[in-house]
Structure 1
């Protein structure tokens, strides 16, 4: 991930280090959260995430240090696909097929119910997916 055009980067603070794993706290702020009128508006949104990254050999980090966490754009696109696009397509296709075979109420329930096994399979494959979605750290 050498050039900035092929990676996604976020700045965060090292929370802890466990062997070769580094846990970095990244605070995501929506555009309106930094707006001057955020006190009068209820749309401001701030979220805090802990990202697990691998510590590269020869890298020296300590808790409290500010670092840049980077991920490959292809990995980000794959996460978008598995997290949003594929489930949407799955619900849509199942809804169309179920409407042709049953009533609308049953079709709606079946199409939403198909998400339970989908996300269960994603959860069971989390270790395998974790190998695909790697984060690196730039001090």
Structure 2
């Protein structure tokens, strides 16, 4: 889920400027590495534009040479090693950051405040950390529902 935000490299400058002009999406190019049913695994290439991007600190794509992302695809047919473009709406990226980082922090902090009224300080700290286990377990169990909410588009280039 952390690697849901992405950027782009395209074969031609005209195509690149077309996709970069849209400020509502993150775009990144990649190569199809695996196809299984309705699921397509795309290896994202490191992007030369990551250095100038304002979202690179939260993106995670700029940290290494390649990342893999799984995309649900029911419309197009793709071949392995085919070059594609991956798009993610910025609003979905913000939702992903909220559910992965912000809400767990709020949950942990609220649990700490509430538990410190009834328990010793060290025990309240442990309870506030343990509350994250069922939260992330719930997110893991809901991963199929989250995949449909955090829809990533894949486009042939």
Give the alignment's Cα RMSD to 1 decimal.
2.5
Please state which structure has a larger fraction of its residues in helix. 2
Please state which structure has a larger fraction of its residues in strand. 1
Using the TM superposition, give the Cα deviation of residue 19 of structure 1 relative to its aligned residue in structure 2, in angstroms: 4.0
Larger radius of gyration: 1
**1:19–1:88 Cα change, 3 Å:** same
Structure 1 residues not aligned, in runs of 5+: 32-43
1:75 equivalent among 82, 92, 102 = 92
Deviation digits for residues 81-112 of structure 1, max 9, x if unmatched? 11000000001111111122211110110000
Distance 1:48 1:4 in 2: 24
Does structure 1 residue 51 correspond to structure 2 residue 69? yes
Structure-2-length-normalised TM-score = 0.68
Does structure 1 residue 65 correspond to structure 2 residue 82? yes
**1:118–1:97 Cα change, 3 Å:** same
Distance 1:94 1:55 in 2: 39
| Structure 1 stretches of at least 4 aligned residues deviating more than 4 Å after TM superposition | 27-31
Paired position in structure 2 for 1:97 = 114
- Whether the aligned pair in 2 keeps the contact of 1:27 and 1:46 (CA below 8 Å) is no
Deviation digits for residues 107-134 of structure 1, max 9, x if unmatched? 1100000001111111111111111011
Distance 1:98 1:28 in 2: 44
Distance 2:114 2:65 in 1: 38
